[in-house]
Amino acid sequence: MLDILAIAAHRDDVEQTCGGTLLAMHARGWKTGILDLTQGESGTRGTAEERRAEAEAAARILNVAHREALDLPDGNVENTQANRIKVAEVLRRLRPRVVILPYWQGRHPDHYTTATLGYEACFISGLSKLEIPGSTAAPHRPYKILYASLYADVRPSFVVDITPYAEQRLQSLLAYRSQYANQSAGGGLFVPEDDIRERTFATARHYGLLTGVRYAEPFVQKEVGLVDDLMLLPVQSI
């Protein structure tokens, strides 16, 4: 069973948007994991098998306790009942308290579809009368759903300080040599290898500056937060 599960459309999405957060949570003693919905068979670069090996290497760098991939079509993730049940089966088996999803708007249809699919799978996973073929796990509904908003032009609800893990986070992304090593295929779509470090650290630096830390990753939550003690609120106002 896991404490935190990050769900993403593609292998390497988590590394880009919340890999530092998974490292920070692991350091606090929480058990983390990743669910990739597709296997990468339709990508401009690399093969599904290459992406699998790279994802396993990245998982070791991120210190996650569990990583698996479903078989949804790469480039055609759909929010169907069959797909919701596939995700719900994983949720019931791994029983995370926190689920991290992609932000619900974006350029790639797989990403924003995964946000809705993941949310609805979290809901039906808790239905006591929903039977999932082949599964004996009891119903389970995650307590908290968060959205990784690194590439969304929105104000985050909060950020996570990833300063001690910024370099390790970058190394998890660079484990995907089929995607980020310099090559002619997809040259106009992919960030040049020489620019990956600068872009990755610059984005994290931007979100860190919002709260007075060096590097951070942003998240959005839809519900209103609750504060018990005003004297313990972090981040100085002026």
Q: How far is CA 218 from the centre of its chain?
A: 12
Complete edge-to-edge strand list for the sheet that includes strand 216-220: 66-72, 32-38, 4-8, 98-102, 144-148, 216-220, 158-161
**Distance linking the first and last C-alpha atoms of the chain:** 42
What domains are there in the chain, each with its CATH number? 4-232 (3.40.50.10320)
pLDDT tens by residue, 36-65: 999 988 676 778 899 999 999 999 999 999
pLDDT tens by residue, 187-208: 566 677 778 999 999 999 999 9
pLDDT tens by residue, 19-30: 999 999 999 999
Contact 58, 176 (CB under 8 A): yes
Cα separation, 20 vs 37, in Å, equals 20
What percentage of the chain exceeds 70 in pLDDT? 95
pLDDT on residue 59: 98
Return the structure tokens found at 98. Answer: 């926190």
pTM (2 d.p.): 0.93
